[in-house]
Amino acid sequence: MSAAERLAEIRGRIAAAALQANRDPASITLVAVSKTFPPEAVMPLIDAGQAVFGENRVQEAAGKWPILLARHTELRLHLIGPLQTNKVRDALALFHAVHSLDRERLAAAIAKEVAAGTRCPDLFVQVNTGEEPQKAGVPPREAVAFVRRCRDVHGLTVAGLMCIPPLEDAPGPHFALLRKIGEEAGTGALSMGMSGDFETAIAFGATHVRIGSALFGARG
Ligand SMILES: *Cc1c(COP(=O)(O)O)cnc(C)c1O
């Protein structure tokens, strides 16, 4: 299958899952996760009309995307991996959305750049729904308060929440928990669902699905 055919297949599955859940397929954004793949692998998807891409490392993205972004002004780049405070400036120069806001110091660092005139990206608070010690994200019981502090203390608008369920768990309860926290926090968007579980995530209300291997093939 060509990249364009894989994209069409995934778009079809997203639309079918949306309709199954009585949702408008247009309310779901496909974030094509291109991490580890070179520009030559990305370009056929851009040519096929894909405009939103995800990367998990600032440094990798900085080497790969500036030329593509300059050439295709419709592109939107999303950071889906951890962000160190010393990389915030580089990240905001490149990314239109950050899915990994997970601590006060990072909120403060982003707010400082925005105050200095940098465009504020769409922000998603990452929630560690499985409370895994090795995983990033705010603990579920602290998430609503953290969203409020982002707004009240740092002046940041939080667009939504993001989670990565534990590998060994059924994802549904994690997606349901993220949605419940989002309702309580008053954030609209839900970044949840990857290649293996995006249809389940859509059933639970995902607005952003982050799909890598199903589009690009297995990562080396
Ligand atoms: C790599 C990655 C994805 C994509 O995973 P696939 O299983 O390849 O679709 C989604 N979200 C995050 C945070 C990732 O790091």
Looking at residue 214, what is its pLDDT? 96
* Residues forming beta bridges with residue 83, ordered by sequence position: none
Using one digit for the tens of pLDDT, what is the confidence trace for 99-122?
Answer: 999 999 999 999 999 999 999 999
> Which of 49, 48, 34 shows the shortest CA–CA distance to 4?
48
Ligand 1: nearest atom to the Cα of 162: 13
Angle between helices 140-152 and 104-115 (to 10 degrees): 20
Using one digit for the tens of pLDDT, what is the confidence trace for 176-196?
Answer: 999 999 999 999 999 999 999
Using the mean position of ligand 1's atoms as its centre, give its distance from the Cα of residue 110 in Å: 24
Looking at residue 220, what is its pLDDT? 75
Using one digit for the tens of pLDDT, what is the confidence trace for 1-55?
Answer: 888 999 999 999 999 999 999 999 999 999 999 999 999 999 999 999 999 999 9
Using one digit for the tens of pLDDT, what is the confidence trace for 88-103?
Answer: 999 999 999 999 999 9
Using the mean position of ligand 1's atoms as its centre, give its distance from the Cα of residue 156 in Å: 26
**How many Cβ atoms from other residues are within 10 Å of residue 96's Cβ?**
16
Give the C-alpha separation, 102 to 161, whole Å.
10
Using the mean position of ligand 1's atoms as its centre, give its distance from the Cα of residue 152 in Å: 31
Query: What is the best residue among 57, 125, 210, 219 to mutate for testing ligand 1's pocket, by most ligand atoms within 8 Å of CB?
Result: 210
Ligand 1: nearest atom to the Cα of 195: 9
The identity of residue 8, as a single letter, is A
Looking at residue 1, what is its pLDDT? 85
Looking at residue 219, what is its pLDDT? 86
215 pLDDT band, cuts 50/70/90, is very high
Looking at residue 125, what is its pLDDT? 98
Tokens 């008053």, located at residue: 186
Using the mean position of ligand 1's atoms as its centre, give its distance from the Cα of residue 210 in Å: 6
Minimal-distance CA residue to ligand 1 atom 4: 212
Which residues line ligand 1 at a C-beta cut-off of 6 Å?
33, 35, 56, 80-81, 164, 194-196, 210-214
Find the Cα–Cα–Cα–Cα dihedral 13, 15, 21, 26, rounded to 10°.
Answer: 140
* Residues forming beta bridges with residue 72, ordered by sequence position: none
Give the C-alpha separation, 177 to 155, whole Å.
26
Both tokens of 55, joined, read 């990367």
Using one digit for the tens of pLDDT, what is the confidence trace for 143-172?
Answer: 999 999 999 999 999 999 999 999 999 999
* Residues forming beta bridges with residue 189, ordered by sequence position: 160
Using the mean position of ligand 1's atoms as its centre, give its distance from the Cα of residue 161 in Å: 16
